[in-house]
Amino acid sequence: MFAYILRSLLQGAVVLIAVAFIAFSMFRFVGDPVANMVGQEASMADREELTKHLGLDQPFPIQFLRFLGKAAQGDFGISYRQGRPVAAVMAERLPATVELAVLSAIFATVVGVALGVYAAIRRHGLVANAVMTLSLVGVSLPTFLIGIGLIYVFAVELRWLPSFGRGETVRLGGWTTGLLTKSGLQSLILPVLTLGFFQLTLIMRLVRSEMLEVMRSDFIRFARARGIPNRVIEFRHALRNTMIPVVTIAGLQLGSVIAFAIVTETVFQWPGLGALFVNAVQFADVPVMAAYLVFVAFVFVVVNLATDLAYLALDPRLRAAPTAAR
Amino acid sequence: MSDIAVTVPETAKTPSLGARLFDSDLWASFKRSKVTMAAAFLTLLFFLVAILAGVLSPQDPFDPAQLELLNSRIPPLWESGGQAPFLLGTDQQGRDMLSAILYGLRISLVVGFLGVAFSATLGIGLGLVAGYFGGAVDAVIMRIADVQLTFPAILIALLIDGVVKSILGNQLDPMTILGVLVFSIGLSFWVQYARTVRGSVMVEKNKDYVAAARLIGLPALVIMLRHVLPNVLGPVLVIATINLALAIITEATLSFLGSGMPQTMPSLGTLIRIGNNFLFSGEWWIVAFPGIALATLVLAINLLGDWLRDALNPRLR
C-alpha cells in the first residue's frame, strides 16, 4: 500500500515538472520580459542591468531551475498587466473559484448519483426515460449556452436571481466567502447549476450503466434469494459496487470542472481564476498564464492522489493485497 | 464436402460498394433507429445550407458596405416591428441574422472539419509510430500524451491560441485567425486518436500478415500506411465523429470568450458573444437563433456519433 501511494506521488511530481517546463518555455516565446518591464526611454545599460538582475543572461537550464525553485515557493513574478505579484492576484481570486467548483461538484455528484440510481431501478419508467433523453441534450449543449439560457429565464424574464458577480461577500481572514450572505448565496445558484450540469449528466449516465451491470451479477441474485429488502440491496450492495468507476470519472472530471469554470466565470462575470486566465491570454500576461497552468496541474495531481486513496477506502481487496493491485 | 466447394466461389465474388453498403449491418441498424435518421437528415441539412450560404442568404454579412445602421435591431418577421427581408431580425450593425447564421455556420463547420482532420492526422501518425516501433519513441510520445491529458482540451486550445497570436502580432486578418483556431483545436485533440491507434497497432503488428510483409522486405512506412492503418481505422471514425461536435463546441467557446473569430467575420460562437450583450435590453433574437443553430448542429452530430459507436461495437450487436 505504501509503494502504491509512493508511485502515485512520483508520477504526480513528473507531471508537475513537465508542466512547469512548458510554463517556463512560454516566457521565451511570448514577448521580451525586459521590454515588458522597462519604459520606452530605458537606456541599453538599464536593460542590461535588468537582464542581469532577472538572471536572463544565464544558461537555459539554470534559469529553469531558478524558476522551479521560485514556483515551489509560490513566486511566479509580477503580472505584466496589473503590476502586482502574481501570487497575490491569484490568492485574491482563489476563493471565488474554489467555492464555485466545490459546490458544483457536490451538486453534480449528489443529484447525478440519485438520478442515476433511479434511472437504473425504474429502467423502463416514463420519468427515467425522460431523464435519459434530457441528459443527452445536456451533454450536447455548450456550457456557455446553458449559462445564457439560465440568465435569460431566471435573471431577465423572472428577475429572481442575479446574473453576474458574487454578490455581497464576507471576509474571513484571507478568505472571502459568498456563503454567509443572502445575495452571495443567490449569486451562486446560476453559476453552480451551469458548471455542475455537464458533470451531472455524465455521472448520472455512468451510475445508471454501472448499476444495470451490477444488478445482473450473482451476488445480487443471492441477496434477493436471502430475502433482503430491495432498498437495502439497491443502496448498500449494488451502489457500493458501482462507486469505483464513478469515483475515477468524477476525479478525472475535476479537470473539466476547472476548464468549464473558465467559461462559466466569463458568462457570469465571476471574479475567479478562470476569468483571470482568459484576460491573461488576451493580454499575453505570461506570468499569470504560467502560474495558472502550474496551478491547474497541481490541482490535477492532488485530485489524482485523492482518487487513488479513495480506491483504498472503497475496495478492501486493494488494502489486503497491495502487490496484486493494478 | 461438395457443398463447401460450391459456396466458396460465390462468396468470393465482391458485390459493388453500394450494394455492400445497403446490405451491411450498419445500414440495417441505421434504418431501425428513427432518431439516427432524423439526426443524419439534420446534419446533412446543416452541411447543405452552409455550402449554399451564398445563394440562400439575402445579404453578405461579411461585406460592411451592405449593412445599414438604420436597419439595426429589427425583431424577427413575426414579431411586431419585423421587416422583410429580415426573417430572423437584425443585430446592432443592421446585419441580417439569417445571413449571419448561414455564413457563421459555414465558418464553424470549416473550423470543425479542418480541426478534426488536423488532430486525426497528427494523432494517427503519432499513434502508428508509437505502436509500431515501441520502445523509447513510444515512451516519449505517450508521456507527452499523459501530460496533455492533465489539461482539458479547451484550456489547451485557449492557451495555444493566445501564444500563437501574441507571436504573430495583434493585427491579424480573419483567415489567419481561422488558421490559428484550426491549429490550436487540432493540437488539443490528438491524444485520443494516438492512444486508440497505438493500442490497435500493438495488437495488429504481431499478426501474420505484418510478419509476412516484413519478410518480403517492405519498408516500415509502407507496412504502417498500407497494411496496418486500414485495420485500425474503425474506432478512429467514431472518435472523429464525436470530436467533430467537440471541435465545433471548442471553436464556439473560444469565439465566445473573445479569442476566436472576429466580429467582422463571425462564427456561431462570435454571434452568440455579440448577442449576449443585448440579452438585457430585450433583443433576444440576436443571441437565441445562433444559439439554437449551434445546439441543434452539435446535438445532431452527437446523436450520429453515439449511433456509430454502438453500431460498430461488436459487444452490443
Q: Is the pLDDT higher at B312 or at B297?
A: B297
CATH number at residue B260: 1.10.3720.10
Q: What ranges make up the beta strands (E) of chain B?
A: none
Distances (CA, A) of A138 to A202, B104, B299: 9, 23, 9
Q: Which long-range contacts (CB under 8 A, 24 or more apart) does A7-10 make?
A: A8/A304, A8/A305, A8/A308, A9/A305
Asked if the model's pLDDT at residue B120 lies above 90, the reply is yes
In a domain, B173, yes or no: yes
List beta partners, residue A177. A170
CATH number at residue A220: 1.10.3720.10
Cell of B15: 458485390
* Interchain pair A18, B302: CB under 8 A: no
In a domain, A133, yes or no: yes
Compute the count of residue pairs across chains A and B with CB atoms less than 8 Å apart.
110
Give the per-residue pLDDT at B109: 93
In a domain, B83, yes or no: no
Give the per-residue pLDDT at A247: 77
Residue B79 buriedness (CB in 10 A; 0-12 / 13-18 / 19+): exposed
Give the per-residue pLDDT at B70: 67
A142 neighbourhood in chain B, CB within 8 Å: 249, 252-253, 256, 294-295, 298
Confidence of residue B297 (pLDDT cuts 50, 70, 90): very high
> Chain A: nearest CA to B94, how far in angstroms?
23
Give the per-residue pLDDT at A36: 64
Q: What is the mean pLDDT of residues B69-80?
A: 70
Residue B85 buriedness (CB in 10 A; 0-12 / 13-18 / 19+): exposed
pLDDT, tens digit, 9 for 90 and up, residues A79-135: 877 778 888 888 888 888 888 888 888 898 889 888 888 888 887 778 888 888 788
In a domain, B104, yes or no: yes
The 8-class DSSP code of residue B170 comes to: S
Residue percentage of chain B with pLDDT more than 70? 85
What is the span of the domain harbouring residue A209?
86-284
In a domain, A52, yes or no: no
Query: For chain A, which residues score pLDDT lower than 50?
Result: 322-326
CA gap A52, A73 in Å, rounded: 22
In a domain, B304, yes or no: yes
The one-letter code for the residue type at B179 is G
End-to-end CA distance of chain A: 11
Put simply, whether B276 touches A (Cβ < 8 Å) is yes
Asked if the model's pLDDT at residue B172 lies above 60, the reply is yes
pLDDT, tens digit, 9 for 90 and up, residues B6-15: 444 444 455 5
Q: What is the mean pLDDT of residues B161-169?
A: 80
In chain B, the number of structural domains is 1
pLDDT, tens digit, 9 for 90 and up, residues B198-235: 988 888 888 888 889 889 988 888 888 888 888 888 78
Confidence of residue B27 (pLDDT cuts 50, 70, 90): confident
Asked if the model's pLDDT at residue B316 lies above 60, the reply is no
What is the span of the domain harbouring residue B293?
33-53+97-316
List beta partners, residue A171. A176
Residue percentage of chain B with pLDDT more than 90? 14
Mutate to test the interface with B, among A28, A141, A145 (most CBs of B within 10 A): A145
pTM listed for this prediction: 0.83
Cell of B280: 438585457
List beta partners, residue A175. A172
In a domain, B62, yes or no: no
How many Cβ atoms from other residues are within 10 Å of residue B263's Cβ?
15
The one-letter code for the residue type at A297 is A
In a domain, B15, yes or no: no
In a domain, B12, yes or no: no
The one-letter code for the residue type at B145 is A
Cell of A246: 464513478
Cell of A121: 431501478
Asked if the model's pLDDT at residue B2 lies above 50, the reply is no
The one-letter code for the residue type at A197 is F
Q: Is the pLDDT higher at B54 or at A289?
A: A289
Any idea which residue has 440495417 for its cell?
Answer: B28
Residues from A contacting B (CB-CB < 8 Å) are: 14-15, 18-19, 22, 26, 29-31, 136-137, 139-145, 148-149, 151-152, 156, 163, 255-256, 258-260, 262-263, 266-267, 277-278, 280-282, 284, 289, 293, 296-297, 300
> Chain B: nearest CA to A212, how far in angstroms?
15
Contact B188, B153 (CB under 8 A): yes
pLDDT, tens digit, 9 for 90 and up, residues B237-290: 888 988 999 899 999 999 988 888 888 888 888 888 888 888 777 778 878 888
* Interchain pair A281, B259: CB under 8 A: yes
Judged by DSSP in three states, A177 sits in: strand
CA angle at residue B254 from B249 to A153, to 5 degrees?
70
Any idea which residue has 505502436 for its cell?
Answer: B131
Q: Which long-range contacts (CB under 8 A, 24 or more apart) does B38-46 make?
A: B39/B299, B39/B300, B39/B301, B39/B303, B39/B304, B39/B307, B40/B300, B40/B304, B42/B296, B42/B297, B42/B300, B43/B297, B43/B300, B43/B301, B43/B304, B46/B105, B46/B109, B46/B296, B46/B297, B46/B300
Contact A145, B292 (CB under 8 A): no
Q: What is the mean pLDDT of residues B291-306?
A: 88
In a domain, B122, yes or no: yes
For A219-231, b where at least 16 C-beta lie within 10 A, e where not — what string? ebeebeeeeeeee
CA gap A258, A265 in Å, rounded: 10
Contact B89, B75 (CB under 8 A): yes
In chain A, the number of structural domains is 1
List beta partners, residue A78. A85
In a domain, A48, yes or no: no
Q: Is the pLDDT higher at B4 or at A92?
A: A92
Contact A273, A97 (CB under 8 A): yes
Give the per-residue pLDDT at A71: 79
